[in-house]
C-alpha cells in the first residue's frame, strides 16, 4: 500500500484522539473530592456522581500512558489529573475486611464511600495498571510496590484460593476458565515487566495465561468460546456455547503482542488465524455491518438481551488487532479488514458534534444509548485504541520512508 491512505488514517485517528482526551479533560475531573466523574451524558454533563473503581484505574492508566509516551500529551494538567485519580484510589478503593486483605470496591460515592463490591478481580486489575504506570513517571517506589503487592494478591486468588473474592462455591456451579481472567493477567504481566529487568518473576504466569487462553479454541479449531472447563473442555448449555467476537479479537492482539516479543512464529499464526479471523468471520454482521456483541456457536438466539447490538469496545479491539497483524505480517487482506472496521466505526460511533464516541448502537447502527460515560464505558477503550493505532501507523509509515 502507498503511504497516502496510511497517512489519512493516522491524521484522522490523531485528531480523534485529541478530541477524546479533550472531552474527558473538560468534563470528568472532580476538583472537590478528587478522582473522576464516570457518568457523562452525550454533551459531557455529569448525570450520576457514582465513581467506578475499575474506570478510575483505567483513566489514571490512560492519562499516565499518554503523558509518558506521547510528547503532545506531556502536559502538567494530564499528569496532575493522573495523580489526583491515583490518590483517590489509594485512599478509598480498598474495602476493609475482618480477615484477609479485603477487596477493592466496584463503585464508590463521589466522596469515596464504598457502595458495591463485585466478586471478580477487575477493580484490582485496573488498580495495578494505574499505580504501575503512574509510578513510572513519578519514580514513586512505594506506588510501584503497591501495584506489585496487589498483583500478588490477584495471582493468589486466581491460582491458589479464590475464596477471598467472596463467591461461594456451589455444587452445581463448578469453576470455569473464563477467557477474561487469563487475558487480564497477561495484560498485567506486560504492564509490570515493560522495560524492567526482573521479568523472571512473572515468566511462569505468562505461560500459564497463554495456555489458558488457547484452551478457548474449540470445535476442532473452528470456534473461540468465551468459557470452558478448567481442563479446556466445552461447557454444557448456553454458557458453553457463548461467543464474544470482540473479546476474542482482543485476546488475538494480546497473544500476537506476546508472541512477537517471544519470537514464537506458531503462536503469531494462531493469534491471527484463530483469534482474529474466526471471530471476524462469525461476528461481522453481513447485512448491517459491525460486530455482533454475542453469538451462540450453534446458531441459537443468545440469552443476552443486547446480543445483536453493536458496542464500541469490540470495534476498538478489532481495529487494534488487524492493524497490529498487518504491521507485522503485511498481508493485504488484514489491512482490508482494518479498513472495513475503520469505516463502520468512524461512521457510526464518533460524535462529530460533542466529541468522544457513542457506545451502544442497535443492530442497524443507530444510537440507542447516547451517554458517553457510564458504569462500563469510561476513558479507556476508545483512547487506547486510537493511541495504539496511531503508534502502529507511525511504525508503518517510518518503514515506508526508510
Contacts of 35 (CB under 8 A, 6+ apart): 51, 56, 84, 85, 88, 89, 112
pLDDT band at 400 (very low <50, low <70, confident <90, very high): confident
Q: Which of 182, 174, 188, 165 is nearest to 226 (CA)?
A: 182
> 10-29: string of b/e by CB count within 10 Å (b at 16+)?
beebbebbebbbebbeebbb
Judged by average pLDDT, the poorest of 5-9, 193-197, 250-254 is 193-197
Judged by average pLDDT, the poorest of 170-174, 198-202, 364-368 is 198-202
pLDDT band at 26 (very low <50, low <70, confident <90, very high): very high
Burial label for 163, CB within 10 Å (0-12, 13-18, 19+), is exposed
Tens digits of residue pLDDT in 319-347: 999 999 999 999 999 999 999 999 999 99
* Cα–Cα distance, 88 to 61 (Å, whole number): 14
Tens digits of residue pLDDT in 67-112: 999 999 999 999 999 999 999 999 999 998 877 778 999 999 999 9
Q: Is-contact 126 134, C-beta < 8 A?
A: no
CA–chain centroid gap for 62, Å, is 11
CA–chain centroid gap for 395, Å, is 22
* Cα–Cα distance, 393 to 322 (Å, whole number): 12
Tens digits of residue pLDDT in 230-257: 999 999 999 999 999 999 999 999 999 9
Average pLDDT value for residue range 46-51 = 98
* Cα–Cα distance, 399 to 130 (Å, whole number): 32
**pLDDT given for residue 402 in this prediction:** 66
Tens digits of residue pLDDT in 159-180: 999 999 988 889 998 899 999 9
Amino acid at each position: 500500500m502507498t503511504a497516502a491512505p496510511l497517512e489519512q488514517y493516522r491524521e484522522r485517528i490523531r485528531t480523534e484522539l485529541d478530541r477524546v482526551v479533550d472531552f474527558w479533560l473538560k468534563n470528568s475531573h472532580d476538583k472537590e473530592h478528587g478522582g473522576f466523574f464516570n457518568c457523562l451524558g452525550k454533551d459531557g454533563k455529569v448525570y450520576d456522581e457514582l465513581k467506578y473503581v475499575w474506570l478510575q484505574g483505567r483513566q489514571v492508566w490512560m492519562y499516565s500512558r499518554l503523558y509518558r509516551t506521547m510528547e503532545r500529551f506531556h502536559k502538567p494538567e494530564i499528569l496532575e489529573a493522573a495523580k489526583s485519580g491515583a490518590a483517590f484510589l489509594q485512599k478509598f478503593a480498598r474495602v476493609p475486611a475482618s480477615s484477609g486483605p479485603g477487596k477493592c470496591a466496584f463503585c464508590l460515592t463521589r466522596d469515596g464511600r464504598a457502595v458495591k463490591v463485585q466478586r471478580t478481580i477487575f477493580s484490582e486489575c485496573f488498580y495495578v495498571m494505574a499505580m504501575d504506570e503512574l509510578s513510572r513517571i513519578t519514580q514513586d517506589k512505594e506506588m510501584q510496590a503497591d501495584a506489585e503487592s496487589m498483583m500478588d494478591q490477584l495471582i493468589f486468588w486466581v491460582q491458589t484460593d479464590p475464596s477471598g473474592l467472596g463467591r461461594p462455591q456451589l455444587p452445581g456451579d463448578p469453576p470455569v476458565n473464563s477467557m477474561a481472567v487469563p487475558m487480564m493477567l497477561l495484560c498485567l504481566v506486560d504492564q509490570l515487566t515493560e522495560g524492567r529487568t526482573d521479568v523472571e518473576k512473572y515468566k511462569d504466569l505468562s505461560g500459564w495465561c497463554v495456555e489458558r487462553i488457547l484452551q478457548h479454541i474449540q470445535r476442532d479449531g473452528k470456534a473461540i468460546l468465551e468459557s470452558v472447563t478448567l481442563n479446556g473442555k466445552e461447557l454444557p448449555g448456553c454458557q458453553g456455547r457463548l461467543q464474544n467476537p470482540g473479546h476474542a479479537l482482543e485476546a488475538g492482539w494480546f497473544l500476537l503482542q506476546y508472541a512477537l516479543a517471544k519470537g514464537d512464529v506458531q503462536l503469531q499464526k494462531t493469534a491471527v488465524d484463530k483469534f482474529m479471523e474466526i471471530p471476524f468471520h462469525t461476528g461481522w454482521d453481513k447485512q448491517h455491518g459491525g460486530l455482533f456483541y454475542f453469538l451462540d456457536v450453534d446458531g441459537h438466539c443468545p440469552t443476552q438481551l443486547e446480543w445483536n447490538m453493536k458496542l464500541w469496545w469490540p470495534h476498538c479491539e478489532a481495529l487494534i488487532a488487524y492493524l497490529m497483524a498487518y504491521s507485522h505480517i503485511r498481508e493485504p487482506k488484514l489491512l482490508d479488514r482494518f479498513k472495513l472496521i475503520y469505516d463502520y466505526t468512524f461512521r457510526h460511533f464518533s460524535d462529530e458534534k460533542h466529541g468522544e464516541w457513542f457506545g451502544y448502537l442497535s443492530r442497524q447502527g443507530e444510537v440507542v444509548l447516547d451517554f458517553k460515560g457510564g458504569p462500563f464505558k469510561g476513558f479507556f477503550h476508545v483512547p487506547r485504541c486510537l493511541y495504539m493505532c496511531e503508534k502502529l501507523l507511525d511504525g508503518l509509515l517510518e518503514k515506508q520512508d526508510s
